[in-house]
Structure 1
Amino acid sequence: MNLDELAAIDVHTHAEVGRDGQGSLSPALLGASAGYFKAQGNRQPTIDETAAYYAERAMAAVVFTVDAEHATGHPRIANEEIAEGCAAHPDTLIAFASIDPHKGRAGVREARRLVERHGVRGFKFHPSLQGFAPDDRLAFPLYEAIEELGAVALFHTGQTGIGAGVRGGGGIRLRYSNPMLVDDVAVDFPDLRIILAHPSFPWQDEALAVATHKQHVHIDLSGWSPKYFPPQLVRYANSLLQDKVLFGSDYPLITPDRWLADFAALDIKPAVRPKILKTNAARLLGLSAKENAE
């Protein structure tokens, strides 16, 4: 992956359909999410199609799914499948995995295998969808392994479109995605590199507090058009958190084309823009100068 040739690194994209056509969510939850983002009718791209989309734009993308089998009963897309798909496009795609914390020791063994054998660089958690509080000790063995492996833990925070409008929200509890619960994780695992995904409505100030207080906590800007960002988020991205804020789109629900067009109109300092779009992510993901040269 040649960093010099990349315009940006999108740290938040989804693999929503497997090789066999199976979706990562049930039709009811997927429909609710599409409705929330006004994306009805949009087909879910394959990993190869995602790679072509980003390569055409001279961009790289982190790709993951969500393993929420315990809470939803819906089978996941295999992490190995996503890792192999990303490995086929090393100049464009970066593989993350997702492991339901309820899987206990089996999940820990899988995490180690995915990093050591498949080159996975991080793990996506969606506490509301997976049905666990981030500070619940059931997830601690998994965090410990991720920290030891030097991988990244990315947590969904704030409101979610998944389950929106469905009876009882589809059983999804929003309180699990309060970023203050991740603050406890950052204390107990001080070397764990963490991303708080999305502007964290209705807990934006909490997310900013955690990211400014904890050394290895970052924020990605996915899931919202930049024109809707809370003013305090823009202010912190321009100043105290300029080295810890990351470009993310939430593709395919929000395209990088739309996100970047709105970001261009945002009042961000010229020196900060490249940090948000690429430099911060490259450093966090360990895309080193040596790897760049290779």
Structure 2
Amino acid sequence: MTLALDDLVAIDVHTHAEVSRDGHPSLSPELLAASAKYFGAHGHRQPTVDETAAYYRERRMAAVVFTVDAEHATGHPRIPNEEVAENCAEHPDVLIPFASVDPWKGRAGAREVRRLVERHGVRGFKFHPSLQGFAPNDPMAYPLYEAIEELGVPAVFHTGQTGIGAGVPGGGGIRLKYSDPMLVDDVAVDFPELRIVLAHPSFPWQDSALAVATHKPHVHIDLSGWSPKYFPPQLVRYADSLLQDKVLFGSDYPVITPDRWLADFEALDLKPAVRPKILKNNAARLLGLDTTDSERT
């Protein structure tokens, strides 16, 4: 069975693979605990990719799945991208594999990017500048962007504050300044064909994110990591007007569930024609999904 776009009610563009098949977590216990506390996800367990697939299948949704490779900054071994991609390939009706390559790997990382797309079917890449300890406009990362742009797949950048390290002394070494969306504006200038997603309402830089997304034609915004009832008013206004074709549903599952997100999304004052764009159509276009995808074997 393959992804049947017409049968889906939504595409969640932001979910996490938090544990490997052998039980290895994506972050250190200290950082995971801080994130769970920040999101109020008490008792939150880390689903496997197989469990994530079952969860989304039950809801007739597709989900983009990724981990974060931050080995250089944190010293914590990553969950292998190949494992995530292979696991997603076992559930092609609901899961879309993304990957994460530590930008500190430079040209070696760029080779990995190409291999992951060409041999493992990866459909995009996730960067978390604060966790990975780099400024998005640092030329050190440019070999990766060049490869991603050439391959024609999207790059997702965490923006704004993060629950990772929140409340830990020194924030667990996490520097918030690296997740200013204005740093990604330089990337959009230097790689004009790179499709970029600014992840999350970008507190405290929401207006900057809106400015970048309205100015640069290939920059999008995903709405993950926040319940819609807490969205800044200007984000809702832009999603309902100037950015209605560039805003994407994302939950940040498992710390925020799509059930909670969608329930609160219903209460937003949006034009009826905008809702399906945010929930599915914009993501389908960005990811290159169409009705022919549904028929591929």
TM over 0.5: yes
Give unpaired runs (5+ residues) of structure 1: none
For the residues of structure 1 that align with 2:270 and 2:66, how far apart are their CA atoms? 28
For the residues of structure 2 that align with 1:196 and 1:69, how far apart are their CA atoms? 22
Shift of 1:22: 0.7
For the residues of structure 1 that align with 2:6 and 2:91, how far apart are their CA atoms? 17
2:241 alignment partner in structure 1: 239
Shift of 1:60: 0.1
Shift of 1:292: 2.5
**TM-score of the superposition, structure 1-length normalised?**
0.99
Residue identity over aligned pairs, in percent, reads: 82
User: 1:50-76 deviations in whole A, cap 9, x for unaligned?
Assistant: 000000000000000000000000000
For the residues of structure 2 that align with 1:292 and 1:48, how far apart are their CA atoms? 21
- Amino acid aligned to 2:236: V
Runs of 4+ with >4 A deviation:
none
For the residues of structure 2 that align with 1:112 and 1:158, how far apart are their CA atoms? 28
2:258 alignment partner in structure 1: 256
1:219 alignment partner in structure 2: 221
1:13 alignment partner in structure 2: 15
State which of 113, 138, 143 in structure 2 corresponds to 1:111: 113
For the residues of structure 2 that align with 1:248 and 1:184, how far apart are their CA atoms? 24
Question: SS state of the match for residue 253, structure 1?
Answer: coil
Question: SS state of the match for residue 98, structure 2?
Answer: strand
For the residues of structure 2 that align with 1:288 and 1:244, how far apart are their CA atoms? 17
Query: Does structure 1 retain, via aligned residues, the 8 Å contact 2:4–2:291?
Result: no
1:268 alignment partner in structure 2: 270
**TM-score of the superposition, structure 2-length normalised?**
0.98
For the residues of structure 2 that align with 1:269 and 1:277, how far apart are their CA atoms? 13
Query: Does structure 2 retain, via aligned residues, the 8 Å contact 1:31–1:40?
Result: no
Q: Does 1:161 align with 2:148?
A: no
For the residues of structure 1 that align with 2:242 and 2:295, how far apart are their CA atoms? 31
Shift of 1:40: 2.2
For the residues of structure 2 that align with 1:81 and 1:223, how far apart are their CA atoms? 25
Query: Does structure 1 retain, via aligned residues, the 8 Å contact 2:35–2:166?
Result: yes
Alignment length (residue pairs)? 294
User: 1:18-76 deviations in whole A, cap 9, x for unaligned?
Assistant: 01101000000000000000112111000000000000000000000000000000000
1:2 alignment partner in structure 2: 4
User: Residues 6-155 of structure 1: matches in 2 within 5 Å?
Assistant: 6-155=8-157
User: 1:145-193 deviations in whole A, cap 9, x for unaligned?
Assistant: 0000011100000000000000100011000000000000000000000
Query: Does structure 2 retain, via aligned residues, the 8 Å contact 1:15–1:47?
Result: yes
